[in-house]
């Protein structure tokens, strides 16, 4: 996984993230609203550590989504055949907040 902070200003953070096929994000929570723009990809899966759920959905370049906060620990997995890449704009509650706290940070 590769991620890059493109801009951080006050309570707004812009991040670019890339997952190769089969790669996943670290286990994390999503406590903040965000807007995500898909740059490339085919399919993503959301996995939960207890194994009880797994959501799989298609993505396409140019797709834009508004994401609500979600406090359950999970990770995203690129289950497509091409790299998944996105730019996300996070709306944080304070300037030093981590946009997606890792499970160990919970």
Question: For residue range 2-29, what is the model confidence (pLDDT) as tens digits?
Answer: 999 999 999 999 999 999 999 999 999 9
Q: Is residue 89 part of a domain?
A: no
- Look at residue 11 and tell me if it is in a domain: yes
Mean pLDDT, the chain, whole residue set: 94
Do the domain assignments include residue 56? Answer: yes
Q: In the prediction, which pLDDT does 54 show?
A: 80
Domain interval for residue 16 = 1-62+70-80
Please indicate, yes or no, if residue 2 is contained in any of the structural domains. yes
- Total domains in the fold of the chain: 1
> Whole-model pTM above 0.75?
yes
Instruction: Judge whether 34 lies within some domain.
Output: yes
**Positive/negative CA dihedral, 88, 92, 98, 99:** negative
Average pLDDT over residues 48-56: 83
What pLDDT was estimated at residue 106?
Answer: 44
Q: Following CA atoms 59, 6, 93, 101 in sequence, which dihedral angle do they give, to the nearest 10 degrees?
A: 70
Per-residue confidence (pLDDT) for residue 2, from 0 to 100: 97
Residue 103 lies in a domain: no
The answer to whether position 95 is within a domain reads no
Reading the block at residue 27, the tokens are: 């286990």
Residue 17 belongs to a domain: yes
Report pLDDT for 52. 66
Average pLDDT of span 86-103: 94
Quote helix, strand, coil % in the chain, to nearest 5: 5, 55, 40
Question: In the Cβ-directed half-sphere of 79, how many Cα atoms lie within 13 Å?
Answer: 14
Average pLDDT over residues 54-76: 94
């Amino acid at each position: 996984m590769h991620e890059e902070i493109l801009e951080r200003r006050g309570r707004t953070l812009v991040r670019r993230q890339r997952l190769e096929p089969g790669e996943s994000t670290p286990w994390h929570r999503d406590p903040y609203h965000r807007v995500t723009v898909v740059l490339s990809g085919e399919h993503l899966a959301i996995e939960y550590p207890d194994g009880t759920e797994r959501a799989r959905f298609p993505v396409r370049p140019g797709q834009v989504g508004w994401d609500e906060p979600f406090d359950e620990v999970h990770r995203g997995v690129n289950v497509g055949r091409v790299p998944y890449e996105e730019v996300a704009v996070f709306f944080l509650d304070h300037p030093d907040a981590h946009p997606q706290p890792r499970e160990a940070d919970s």
